[in-house]
Amino acid sequence: MVFGIIVMVNGQELTSKKGFTILPEAGDYVIGFNAVPVVDFFLNAADVMTNAGQTATHPSYVPGFNQVLFGKYFLEDQKAIRAKLAINTTSVKTNTFFDDPFDMTANPGDPDQWGELQDIKKAGSSEIILGGGMEFRRGHNRLQGFYGGEALLGFSSASAKYTWAVEMNNESMTNGYTNGDGSLLNGRPLDVKTGLGITFGLRGFAGVEYFFAPKISLAAEFGWGFGISTTPRGSVTTENWDGVALAAEEETSEGLGSSSSMGFQVDNGISKALAPSGALIMYFHF
């Protein structure tokens, strides 16, 4: 018993030649990166893969979770909280410039009299990923085993708004005018929205981690998880021509499609899309 206690104490206080603690401790914060580019870089530097590093890339995000930050916090030397977080938004504005068809009809032989119009499309998307779990560890030397469970919750949506320069009226419809991209005026979209996509996952995981330097490690992980992902139909608002009233009218209807998926699967790093992905990770503790 005394010998075992001595081994455990000495192992937990494993230090480098310069006296730096190698293994994680209570209160440590951890961030993780994809380890594959790092491994490639060092192999290239050692001239093992006959590539001088021209294709080397930065570590990037944890595999399977692109655009998602990943970290841990050690509550105890052998127990940590895992967390994933992403708040991503995009906004793209596209302008399409073209000659004013009304001016072209009024002055067909004088381009100098033609004004310029522009159609505008504003597209946006948003994504929120929240993940959390608990990790437990075994081992007292540089090679550590870990296991635990985590949950994932994600939300996503997208939309597009259109501003058309050519007014839909009797003149434009009679003369067959088109939008700047050549599309017909009748039935053109004004507002397109996807439904609120929801992703939910539960996962158990296990893996091994090797500390090759103080507080720096390389880990491989696999697991088994259950996931649900659904995207409702959303809505589409279009502008249509009423040939009887000779006026434009707006109509809102449900979107053209929806999707859903559900299942259990063995994985090696279940992704935010609930699909298998690589899970070779480099961790930095501080």
Encode pLDDT of 213-254 as tens digits.
999 999 998 888 888 999 999 999 999 999 999 999 999 999
**53-62, 204-213, 274-283: least confident range:** 53-62
What pLDDT shows up at residue 279?
A: 75
Domain ranges of the chain: 2-285
pTM for the full predicted model:
0.80
Q: Confidence band (pLDDT; 50, 70, 90) for 2?
A: very low
Reported as a single tens digit per residue, the pLDDT across 26-66 is: 999 999 988 877 777 666 655 655 555 555 566 778 877 88
Q: What is the 3-state secondary structure (H, E, C) of the chain?
A: CHHHHHHHHHHHCCECCCCCECCCCCCCEEEEEECHHHHHHHHHHCCCCCCCCCCCCCCCCCCCCCCCEEEEEEEECCEEEEEEEEEEEEEEEEEEEEECHHHHHHCCCCHHHCCEEEEEEEEEEEEEEEEEEEEEEECCCCEEEEEEEEEEEEEEEEEEEEECCCCCCHHHHHCCCECCCCCECCCEEEEEECCCEEEEEEEEEEEEEEEEECCEEEEEEEEEEEEEEEECCCEEEEEEEECCCCEEEEEEEECCCCEEEEEEEEECCCCCCCCCCCCEEEEEEC
